[in-house]
Structure 1
Amino acid sequence: MIHKERLTNTFLDLVRLDSPSGQEKPVADHLCALLSARGYDVHVDNAGSFFGGNSGNVIVRVPATGPGDAMAFSAHMDCVDPCIGVEPVLTDGVIRSATNTVLGGDDKAGISAILEALFHLEEDGIPHPELFLLFTVCEEAGMFGAKHLDFSRIKARDVIVLDSSGEVGTIIVRAPSKAGMTITFHGRAAHAGIEPEKGISAIQMAANAVSRMKLLRIDEETVANLGRIEGGGQTNIVADCVTLTGEARSHSNARLMAQIEHMRLCCVEAAQELGGNFDFSHEISYPAMDVPADSKLLHRALHACNDLNLTAAVKGTGGGSDANIFSGQGLSCINLGIGMSRVHTTDEFIRVDDMVKAVQLTAALMQR
């Protein structure tokens, strides 16, 4: 049977552990101790060494007790800020943070659901194929844990990620690719009071370029945003350097590249008009995820929802997750809604009953 009290306590213990991106060692140590004590094969890879983190991904292998192909279940250990000193409170079946922090249900609710589902199957002697539990680091900062995961240890071709908001029964099958952009405009410094005509304002050049750009919602598949502007100095000096940092996302790789090129050409025109120059660079942060309609994994999830009387909702999302990375590795992958609400805000909350539903769905998928 599913132990609701144990599930709740597991979650409360996890959210009390500090875990900003790159600093997940308290959570990793807790999981390693908990799972090693139960006799599972636990390994921590060296992913953290690639980006200066203090822990790698926790990879757990659970031997098969029945037939079927191996499966993997994943959730990430880190949280967005502010996540230091979380004090969870449970009132009327709802868990929130008592202070001005996020709760950390994103994604410690996913971890808790995976653990309780496994314990339920093992304790009740319910057969399952070989399972791999993947608890990743640094997802919120750019999926760096998943990008550097030791895939040689994972024999599964199907991966179920528990890292989406929305009702239990939500199945995320589409997520966009994301490109980060850095644009630096170079002008010419001059005294702004005595000889401003000898200067070329990098701020003016940047403003000229931005005014030409199509930003925010571009079309039904594509968005773009400039999130930061830095540069300049004293008001009596014509600014000679300004840097813009932004991103673009799209479910279509062709549209993503078209948006990037559009933004670059806007910079070309602004630099030519004002006589300066610029540096433009972009990097694909993660690939798009697009699960085909005939995916066996998707249909298994739909059947499981039906068996549990959960309302299935197959959706796309505008955000990325570790599922994008796994999909980019050629694995069959879906991302499940687990009931967490208002994530990435200090109003975040989750209902215990929704966590139980997430455990039921996870356990059903683990059985094959």
Structure 2
Amino acid sequence: MIDKKRLLDEFLELVKTDSPTGEERNICDLLTKKLVDLGFQVTEDQTAETTGHQAGNLIAYLEGTKPEAPTIYFTSHMDTVAPGNGVRPRVEDGWVVTDGTTVLGADDKAGLAALLEGIRSLREKGMPHGPIQLIITAGEESGLVGSKSLDPEVLKADFGFALDSNGPVGDIITEAPSQVRLDVRIEGKAAHAGVNPEDGISAIQVASRAISKMPLGRIDEETTANIGKFQGGSASNVIPQVVEILAEARSRDEAKLKAQVDKMVQGFKEAAQELGATAEVEVTTMYPSYKYGESDAVVQTALAAVKKVGRTPNLLASGGGSDANVIAGHGIPTVNLGIGYEEIHTTQERMPIEELNKAAELVIALIEESQK
């Protein structure tokens, strides 16, 4: 049902349009034109004023020919990671690859291309459909800042799908964790390391003691924790007064997440107290978790659509977050779908053309199955 050559050409056009996160203006304008040409009502929100990015999110709406059908939505993001300027893609043995100097940007321009081609094909063939909303975000690669700044009042869908996961078409991410960020500042007391070290309190020692006692890494099948950044001190002959730490915890179970964060906070506080230092810990929830079962309409639709395009559905739990977490947190049931890109966030990134085609077919099938 799709035009495979047109899809490939559009994907190549998108990946050659520079859009490293924060610099989304060109891709935003290109997508706006494409969506208007497809008959969507398109609005760019004002989130750029708060995110500092060049562009806001695109909110697009297409009236349904079956207005009684549920309103579904799709989300993909317009930005890429670095190095993402001057992408020179080439087609090679059934793959789209880079020249090795940049990422490809299939994350998430494969999702965008599949979405555009799927809806274009559906419109050309006059297929009936319910109302469709698109949420095309900026700043996904900068910590989901676009979706996190999104006004939930613009969300009009009953349920929807993120086209933004690795794994083949057929993978359905029905569970994803919440993430909590910990910004920690340990303050001890400076002193000369050779003359009077006993007068100092090493912030590095305090932090090290705390970290050595806390559970980290894989806590259980649902929960992880990590110390991602540790910096402090100035010279070998100075007892370090300040250390700053960036840490995180994730879990698909909110009670487990709270327990893990509490242990980490307590670890820093106790070590500081033991050694006569202070510990300030700022705890921020970065995004919520989501979890859906086979009885939920969003999962039922995804299962039926995957089967319709000839694939075997694979229900999965993820350890990562996406715009799906944020939008699901606003009460719109959402699952993330595999679209087949590989080696993302590296200069070896590649996109199987077969998966690109199948992803566009899946968009059509999702729209069809959502009406049943």
Q: Above 0.5 in TM-score?
A: yes
> Aligned pair in 2 of structure 1 residues 38, 288: CA closer, same or farther (>3 Å)?
closer
CA distance in 2, matches of 1:317, 1:4: 30
Instruction: Note the alpha carbon deviations across 1:288-320, whole angstroms, 9 max, x for none.
Output: 010133101211211122222211101110000
CA distance in 2, matches of 1:258, 1:151: 29
Match of 2:75, SS? strand
Measured after TM superposition, the shift of residue 270 of structure 1 is 1.5
Residue of structure 2 equivalent to 1:78: 79
> Aligned pair in 2 of structure 1 residues 93, 153: CA closer, same or farther (>3 Å)?
same
Q: State the aligned residue count.
A: 368
Residue of structure 1 equivalent to 2:185: 184
Residue of structure 1 equivalent to 2:133: 132
CA distance in 2, matches of 1:150, 1:131: 18
CA distance in 1, matches of 2:275, 2:341: 49
Residue of structure 2 equivalent to 1:92: 93
Long gaps (5+) in structure 2 = none
Residue of structure 2 equivalent to 1:61: 61
CA distance in 2, matches of 1:39, 1:305: 26
CA distance in 2, matches of 1:301, 1:196: 63
Which structure 2 residues correspond to residues 285-300 of structure 1 after superposition, within 5 A? 285-300=286-301
- Range with greater deviation from structure 2 (285-294 or 18-27): 18-27
CA distance in 1, matches of 2:326, 2:357: 27
Match of 1:249, SS? strand
Q: Which amino acid in structure 2 is aligned with residue 180 of structure 1?
A: R
Measured after TM superposition, the shift of residue 117 of structure 1 is 0.4
Residue of structure 1 equivalent to 2:199: 198
Residue of structure 1 equivalent to 2:277: 276
CA distance in 2, matches of 1:285, 1:108: 24
CA distance in 1, matches of 2:89, 2:278: 52
Q: Which amino acid in structure 2 is aligned with residue 272 of structure 1?
A: Q
Measured after TM superposition, the shift of residue 351 of structure 1 is 0.8
CA distance in 1, matches of 2:228, 2:151: 33
- Range with greater deviation from structure 2 (165-174 or 231-240): 231-240
1:149 to 2:150 alignment: yes
Q: Which amino acid in structure 1 is aligned with residue 40 of structure 2?
A: Y
Match of 1:171, SS? strand
Q: Which amino acid in structure 2 is aligned with residue 24 of structure 1?
A: E
Q: Which amino acid in structure 2 is aligned with residue 34 of structure 1?
A: K
Report if the CA contact (8 A) 2:152-2:330 is conserved: no
Instruction: Note the alpha carbon deviations across 1:171-198, whole angstroms, 9 max, x for none.
Output: 1100000001111110101111211111
CA distance in 1, matches of 2:4, 2:103: 23
Q: Which amino acid in structure 1 is aligned with residue 19 of structure 2?
A: S
CA distance in 1, matches of 2:265, 2:301: 44
Report if the CA contact (8 A) 1:159-1:326 is conserved: no
CA distance in 2, matches of 1:352, 1:360: 13
Instruction: Note the alpha carbon deviations across 1:96-143, whole angstroms, 9 max, x for none.
Output: 111322111111100111100010011111111111111111112221
Match of 1:161, SS? strand
Residue of structure 1 equivalent to 2:366: 365
CA distance in 1, matches of 2:70, 2:158: 8
1:309 to 2:310 alignment: yes
Residue of structure 1 equivalent to 2:46: 46
Match of 2:18, SS? coil
CA distance in 1, matches of 2:321, 2:64: 31
Q: Which amino acid in structure 1 is aligned with residue 233 of structure 2?
A: G
CA distance in 1, matches of 2:156, 2:269: 48
CA distance in 2, matches of 1:148, 1:199: 44
Report if the CA contact (8 A) 2:201-2:240 is conserved: yes
Report if the CA contact (8 A) 1:86-1:99 is conserved: no
Residue of structure 2 equivalent to 1:340: 341
CA distance in 2, matches of 1:164, 1:229: 30
Match of 1:247, SS? strand
CA distance in 1, matches of 2:16, 2:80: 12
CA distance in 2, matches of 1:170, 1:44: 30
Residue of structure 2 equivalent to 1:117: 118
TM-score, length-normalised on structure 2? 0.96
- Range with greater deviation from structure 2 (337-346 or 31-40): 31-40
Measured after TM superposition, the shift of residue 38 of structure 1 is 4.1
Instruction: Note the alpha carbon deviations across 1:8-56, whole angstroms, 9 max, x for none.
Output: 1111111112222222111101111222244431111111111211111
Report if the CA contact (8 A) 2:100-2:348 is conserved: no
1:34 to 2:37 alignment: no
